[in-house]
Chains A and B, each alone.
Chain A
Amino acid sequence: MKRPVFSDWNIKSVNRKAAIAELLKLFPFQSNTQDLLLTALETREQAEPTIVHKGIAMPHCRSILVDDFMIAIGKSEKGIPWPEEKVKVIILFITPVKPSGPDEHMKLIRHLAKLLRMDGAEKLLSADSPIEAASILKFTLQESKQNE
Chain B
Amino acid sequence: MNKDLERLISLHDLDVMISDLQNKDIQKQEKKLGLSPAAAVEELKKMRGELALLIARRSRDMYDQLASHYGNAVVPVIHERCSGCFTQLPTAFVASPDRNKQVETCPACGRFIYWCD
Known: A52-B34, A116-B33. A61 touches B23 (CB 8 A): no
Binds A, one of B55-63, B72-80, B102-110: B72-80
CB–CB B47/A46 < 8 A: yes
Residues of B within 8 A of A106 (CB): 23, 25-26, 29
In the complex, the number of residue pairs spanning A and B with C-beta atoms less than 8 Å apart equals 91
Question: Which residue of B has the minimal Cβ distance to A45?
Answer: B40
Interface status of A43 (Cβ within 8 A of chain B): yes
Residues of B within 8 A of A97 (CB): 16, 72
Within 8 A of A (CB), among B1-52: 1, 6, 9-10, 12-14, 16-17, 19-20, 23, 25-26, 29-30, 32-36, 39-41, 43-44, 47
* A43 CA / B9 CA spacing, docked (Å): 13
CB–CB B20/A51 < 8 A: no
Number of A interface residues, CB 8 Å?
34
CB–CB A113/B29 < 8 A: yes
Q: Of the candidates B1, B23, B32, which one forms a contact with A32 in the assembled complex, judged by CB atoms under 8 Å apart?
A: B1
CB–CB B26/A48 < 8 A: no
Interface status of A100 (Cβ within 8 A of chain B): no
Residues of A within 8 A of B41 (CB): 47
Interface status of A109 (Cβ within 8 A of chain B): yes
Q: Of the candidates B9, B17, B34, B40, which one forms a contact with A53 in the assembled complex, judged by CB atoms under 8 Å apart?
A: B34
Number of B interface residues, CB 8 Å?
34
Prevailing SS type, chain B contact patch: helix
Interface status of A63 (Cβ within 8 A of chain B): yes
* A46 CA / B50 CA spacing, docked (Å): 14
CB–CB B20/A64 < 8 A: no
Binding site for A on B (CB under 8 A): 1, 6, 9-10, 12-14, 16-17, 19-20, 23, 25-26, 29-30, 32-36, 39-41, 43-44, 47, 72, 74-76, 78, 116-117
Binding site for B on A (CB under 8 A): 28-30, 32-33, 36, 39-40, 43-44, 46-48, 50-53, 58, 61-65, 67, 97, 102, 105-106, 109-110, 112-113, 116-117
